[in-house]
Every structure is written in C-alpha cells, then in structure tokens.
Structure 1
Amino acid sequence: MTALPDPDLPEPLARHVVELNAAIARGWVEPARVQAVIEALADLSPSMVSRVSSRMAIQGDVFSVARPALLKEAPNLDETTPWFDPERNRQRLAEQPELAYLLLFHVNGHLREAALNQINDALGSPFFLAAIAQRINDWVPVVRRSAVRCAERVFFTAPPAAVAEVAMFLMERTSHWRRGRDEALWLKRFFASPLVAEGVVDGIRTLQTSIAARTLRHALTGPGLDDRLLDLARNAASPAVRQIAFRTLIDGEACWRIGEDVEMGGWPPRVIRRLPRFERRPVARPISLDEAIALAAADRSAAIRRVAAEGLAKHRRAVEAPERLLSLLMQAPSPAILQRLEFVAQDLGLELPAASGSKGA
C-alpha cells in the first residue's frame, strides 16, 4: 500500500516526503530523495515555515507523517520499531550532511541543534532563512544559541533580496516572540542594519500586498526608515504604504498600536467598550508641513487626499498658507474631504473655494 501525501503540505513537497519516508522505512535514505525534499522546501514562501514545521516535526526517523501505511509497506517493521531514534539520525547526518536542512524541523532538540551547527548555506532560499530564524525562538535554549551562530554564518552571505523578503515577513512576528529575548536581539539588530534596510525599503516601495504596509508600520517603531518616508510617500506602489507615510510626515510622529484599554461597567461587571492604546514617537519632517499636505492632496488615491484634509483640519493653525491647501483639496472634494474643508474654512474665517473638478481614486 502506498502512503497518501499529507494534505496539509503543498505539492510536490507532500509527495516527496512520502517517498522519503518509504525509503527510510526500508532502511536506506537515498540522496536523490533527500535532495527532492530540500528543493521542494527551498521553493516555498517564508510564510509557509510555521505550517511546514508543525507537520514535519512529528516524531520519527527524520519524518514519519505516514506511519500506518509505511508499516504495511515495510513488512520487516512492526509497532515496536523505535521510530524515535535520535542516535540513528545523528549517524545519518554524519553520513549525509544535507539532511541538516530536514532535521531543522525535527521534534528532538539535539537533532535541531546538530542541524543548525551543520548548516553554512541557506541555498539562497528565503524559506530556509526563515526556518533558521524561527529557531531563534526555539523552546530549547541551546538550540536558540546554535540558531544565532548559524544565522551569523548564513544571513550575511545570502542574496540581499532573499534576506529582505525574510525581514519583511519576520519583523512584525519577532516582536511577539516570548522566548530567547537576548538571542532575538541579534535578529532585530540585523534587520535594522543598512545591509537589510535598503532591501526592505525596496520591498515596501514596490509591493502592493498588505505585508508592505505592515512592515512599514512596524519599522516606524524605530527611526531606521525615517529618512525614507518622503520617498515612500511619493513613490510607493501601495496606497496603504503612501497613506502611512503621509500621515506620519504630516503629524510629525509615528504611531503604532500596543494594546487596548477595556472599560468595564454595570452589574455584574461587563465590558462596555474597548479602546485601542497607542505609542508614539516624534519624526522630523524633511519638508514643511504645508508641502507635506500639498503632496498628499495631489495623490491619485482618495484615501490619501482624505489624509491631507484630516491633516489640514488637525494642524490648521500651524500651516502657512491654508487658502492654497483648501484650493488644492477642493479639486477633488469627496463628501468626507468637503466636510473637513468646510470646518477649516469656518474656523479660520476663510471663504471656501469652489470645486474645480474631480480626480480618480
């Protein structure tokens, strides 16, 4: 009977894992089958690391995701066969060093440590870079330390584009790690280094997926990308990125959510409402407040023009030429924008210019 591929693993990885398990059950780990699994893993996105880890860390010799079928396929095995045999896998690792890429996911911490000590090359794969980085959050302290040493060997020699992709995937996630705070600091410092920052900025500028905006929002918790905000506001492909950049420039501060406050009331006590809690830090503008609002007002996105109107309403007494900004924003007066402009004009005692046309969102 042939074992069925694990439905939780993507093809062709699932099929290659089944074939590798069958070879292991027969007592011989064929290099070609090991290489097939490694290549299938290398092609995956970093976002697959947790899912693959949870499926491939099942106790067994290297992997054992299809044990019942393998018992039928290999008559020389029975239910008493020692499937969890770290010593046999250590011997295999010594004979076939490439097994280290698979043992990264093993349930046994000694084998994960041995794998990390063996790896000197991430194969140019963002997936394997993410798999190594994930071990910096491992539950075994010695594995975390080995992961940092492995990352020091591998990350600086990996292709910059691959490192940037992993950084964008992990920057937000590492802030939620609760293990290995000291080890995680290495990864945080590496992500903030000039080597990585340039690639991350390129990714934020060019990607139109949500990860670009999430990465920028997280990066703004520190000053690393402050000097690139104007470039991102003007040139980012994602409207969400331009919106964050313009809001930060106009307000002169970065803002990010750190939790929520819960308001209780009544009897018995119950939650009345939840209010988000934010942290802020000042950000120096490379241009004047008027220029920042004017640039946002000229953006092709209605959401960003609304940011300009909100900024004008919020900072109406700090701008130098409110009439000019009112005129710019009246070129595309959506109801939300018009409401804010009417407030500004009334509060400053100005006459609201007539609308002069519309602009596509």
Structure 2
Amino acid sequence: MAEFEKLELEISVALKEFADSTKKSSKVAADISPVLDVTSELPLANLEYWERFIRDQYDNALASGYSHRWKFWQSNTPRISLLDLCSWDGYRREKALKTINTKVPNKLFLAFVLRRLNDWVPQVRLAAQDVLDKVLVNTEPSYVADVICFTLSHWSSWQRIDEPNRKALLDTLANKDIAKHVKLKLINSAAGPLASILSEVGRTDALDDSLEEIAASAIQPSLRAKAYRSLLEGKVSWFEGREWEWTDRRYNEGRMKPIVAERALSTKIPLLPTMLLASNDRSSLVRRVAAEILIKELDNLGSASSVLASKYAADRAAAVAERGKFALKKLAGDTLF
C-alpha cells in the first residue's frame, strides 16, 4: 500500500473512532487525540485536499452514527469539535472557533483557524478574528512559524481577509521565538515560494537583522538572491496588489498593473563587503543580482568597481557576464552600448 493511501486510511480510522465515541450510547469518553496524532505531521502544502478529505470522512462517519431517527428523544446533532473547522455548515465552523480556549494542538488545525479569516461567512471570519490573538500567542512557536509561512505564501489570493487581520498575523513576528523559527524555516527549506514569503515578512522589520545570515546560509538560491538584493538596495519590496491602468481610452483598452510597495531596512550594511560575498556565491541568480547592483553603484565603489566588473565579465553564466561587460563599457565611458 502506498504511503499516501496508508495515511488516508489511518486518518479515516481515527475519524471513525472519534465519531463513534461522540454517540450518546458510547461508553467511551470522546477523545480526539488519535485524530490529532495522525494529522500532526501532515504537510501544509496539501492543506485544501486534507481539509476536504477530513470533512468528507468525518461527515460519513457521523452519518452512520446518527441514523436512529426513530429515537426522537435522542439528539441527532453531533457535538461541536475542532473537526468542525472543516464543516460545510457555517454555524458549526463559527461554534468550533468559539470553543477554542487558548491554543491549537497541531499546525494543521492552526492552519484551518487561519483559513477561516478568509471564510465566505462574515460571522465565521469575525469568530476567527476574535480567537486569533490568543491561539497565536499560546500555540507552539514552531507550529505558528510553519503556518504563518504557509499563509503568507497564499494570502495574496485571499479576497475576504481584511487589513487588520493581515496586520495581526504579521505582528506575531514580533515574538522572537516565532521570528527565529521563521528564519530557520527559510534558511533550511529547499523548495517552495521562499522569496515571496521573505517579501511578505519584509512588511515588518522582524527579520531585518537576519537578512545577512539568510543571504549567506539559505539553501534555496532564489531566497539568497532576494536577501542580497534587499541588503544591497537597502530596502525590501513586496507585491501589494493590482490596479487598472488605461493604455488607450479611445478604444477602451487597458491592463491590470501590479503595485509594488517597499520599506527601507532598519539596519545598514557595508556595501562593498556584501558585494564581494554575493560575487562569490555559487548560484548565478545571486551573482546576477550583484552585477545589477554594481551597475547602479559604479560611482560609489571606487577602484573595486573595475575589479568586480572584470570578474563578472568573465563569469561562466551568460546573464552575469553580459552585465559585467556592460559595467566595463560604462566605466570606460563608452556610450555606444
């Protein structure tokens, strides 16, 4: 049996056991811990699939357990639990959020809570907003870091979340433990939209002091490139949205133009040493960024400009070499380029 199918089976069995324990006739106290155990390591990358799967399997288990309609004196309505964060019923999603006291037991269910900030029912969004601060403060920092990174990589497509809730999520990074886990996740992850996540985190100054470490140590080249660009430009930028731009009003033609916002870094770094580090990076993505910055900073680097330009001109990557040759021509005063 494939590992994925085995995991689905384990979750189905745990959901069935929990549904059975919630019956009025059950002699066993309702215990959700088996469900929490089997879902604790589920990858957030498949969050939408697992939400649908848990909802469908739990609904099926409940349907088989609450079918005694002739016993009119017994309630056929199952008790509210964390699993109702995935329910089709907005009333149950809202009540599930209101039952959360202090923390969420694993990162999967924390991700479900945060997804309710973009829920299609306004009352559910309000309930998620009310519970947001306490669950983020009281839940395990590593869980919060994982879920925040996942959320930041997706929330540009969330149309219902409001700015106060976005700000509340970002303000969580003021917690040093959470910020540390976010930094380590960025550095040690090899795949995913890490550069985009760093851009979104850049709305705050939580990782400004860690950018040099990220640039030097991150596994993913595009993340190192993003970190070096932010350091060398002294600012961090992120995608803010899109707005309509007319290209020809006579013919009613236009396009959606991306809006890029930026913020100056709260820390300053020495330009030349950082340029030298970037020029020796093993990835051409990083060296290309450094070559682009060199062209902008030719007049501020003194004699080092020609040394770096010559180095880039001889680079084995064509995109880097092209920029190095451009810089050499500019230093030579050649305007025919």
Same fold by TM (over 0.5)?
yes
Query: Residue 323 of structure 2 corresponds to which residue in structure 1?
Result: 340
How far apart are the structure 2 equivalents of 1:196 and 1:162? 9
- How many angstroms apart in 1 are the aligned matches of 2:114 and 2:96? 13
C-alpha contact 1:316 1:322 (8 A) present in aligned 2: yes
Residue number in structure 2 paired with 1:131:
112
**8 A Cα contact 1:243 1:307, kept in partner:** yes
User: Aligned letter for 1:344?
Assistant: A
CA deviations over 1:151-185 (Å, ceiling 9, x no partner): 44433232222221111111243453524544454
- The structure 1 residue matched to 2:265, chosen from 283, 300, 316, is 283
Q: CA separation in 2, counterparts of 1:304 and 1:50? A: 34
- Report the CA distance between 1:77 and its aligned residue: 5.8
Partner deviation per Cα, 1:290-345 (whole Å, 9 max, x = no partner): 22221110111122111111111232223232123224435634322222222211
Whether 1:225 and 2:225 are equivalent positions in the alignment is: no
Give 3-state SS (helix, strand or coil) of 2:298's partner.
coil
Instruction: Name the counterpart of 2:44.
Output: 46
* Percent identical residues: 25
User: What CA distance in whole angstroms lies between the structure 1 residues aligned with 2:226 and 2:328?
Assistant: 26
Do residues 118 (structure 1) and 99 (structure 2) align?
A: yes
Residue by residue, what CA displacement relative to the aligned partner does 1:188-227 show, whole Å, maximum 9, x if unpaired? 3223433321211111111111243221121123332222
- Contact between 1:42 and 1:123, CA under 8 Å: does it hold in 2? no
- Per-residue deviation at 1:110? 3.8
- The corresponding residue for 2:187 is 205
8 A Cα contact 1:63 1:106, kept in partner: no
Measured on the aligned residues, the alpha-carbon RMSD in Å equals: 4.0
Equivalent residue for 2:312? 329
Which moves more between the two structures, 279-288 or 25-34? 25-34
Equivalent pair of 2:191/2:220 in contact (CA under 8 Å): yes
Going from structure 1 to structure 2, the CA distance change for 1:202 and 1:194 (only over 3 Å counts) comes to same
The residue that corresponds to 1:168 in the other structure is: 149
Matches of 2:102 and 2:213 in 1, distance apart? 34
2:209 maps to a residue whose letter is D
Letter matched to residue 343 of structure 1: F
1:241 and 2:210 are equivalent in the alignment = no
With 295-304 and 26-35 compared, the bigger mean Cα shift is at 26-35
Per the alignment, do residues 280 and 152 of structure 1 end up closer, same or farther by CA in structure 2, a change over 3 Å counting?
Answer: closer
Cα contact 2:40–2:108 (8 A) shared by 1: yes
SS of 1:104's equivalent?
A: helix
Residue 219 of structure 2 aligns to a residue whose secondary structure is coil
Residue type at the aligned position of 2:11: L
Greater displacement, 227-236 / 18-27: 18-27
Alignment check: 8 A CA contact 1:259 1:278 kept: yes
Q: Distance in 2 between matches of 1:152 and 1:75?
A: 39
Give, in whole Å, the separation in 2 of the partners of 1:328 and 1:308. 11
Verify the 8 A CA contact 2:97 2:127 in the aligned structure 1: yes
Does residue 37 of the first structure (1) align with residue 35 of the second (2)?
yes
Which structure 1 residue ranges, 5 or more long, are not aligned?
1-6, 94-99, 352-361
Equivalent pair of 1:44/1:127 in contact (CA under 8 Å): yes
**Conserved 8 A contact 2:153-2:193:** no
Alpha-carbon spacing, 1:195–1:26, altered in 2? closer, same or farther (3 Å): closer
Equivalent runs, 1:7-46 vs 2, <5 Å: 10-17=8-15, 28=26, 31=29, 34-46=32-44
Secondary structure at the aligned position of 1:119 is classed as coil
1: distance between equivalents of 2:231 and 2:199?
13
Alignment CA distance shift 1:76-1:115 (3 Å): closer
CA contact (8 A) 2:310 2:324 kept: no
Query: Which runs of structure 2 are paired with 1:143-222 in the superposition (5 Å)?
Result: 143-174=124-155, 176-179=158-161, 181-222=163-204
Residues 326/112 of structure 1: CA separation in 2 closer, same or farther (3 Å cut) = same
Q: Which amino acid aligns with 1:279?
A: A
2:59 aligns to what? 64
Letter aligned with residue 89 of structure 2: N
Distance verdict in 2 for CA 1:293–1:106, change over 3 Å: same
- Aligned to 2:295, the other structure's residue is in SS state helix
The one-letter code of the counterpart of 1:51 is Y
Partners of 1:19 and 1:137 in 2: CA distance: 31
Classify 1:244/1:109 alpha carbon distance in 2 versus 1 (closer, same or farther; 3 Å).
same
2:264 is aligned with what amino acid? P
> Which digits, 9 at most, give the CA deviation of each residue in 1:111-155, with x for residues without a partner?
334333333465641112212222333444554444345444433
More displaced, 101-110 or 261-270?
261-270
The aligned amino acid for 1:40 is V
Q: What TM-score, normalized by structure 1, do the two folds share?
A: 0.73
Structure 2 gaps, min length 5? none
| Contact 1:144–1:183 under 8 Å retained in 2 | no
Aligned length: 326
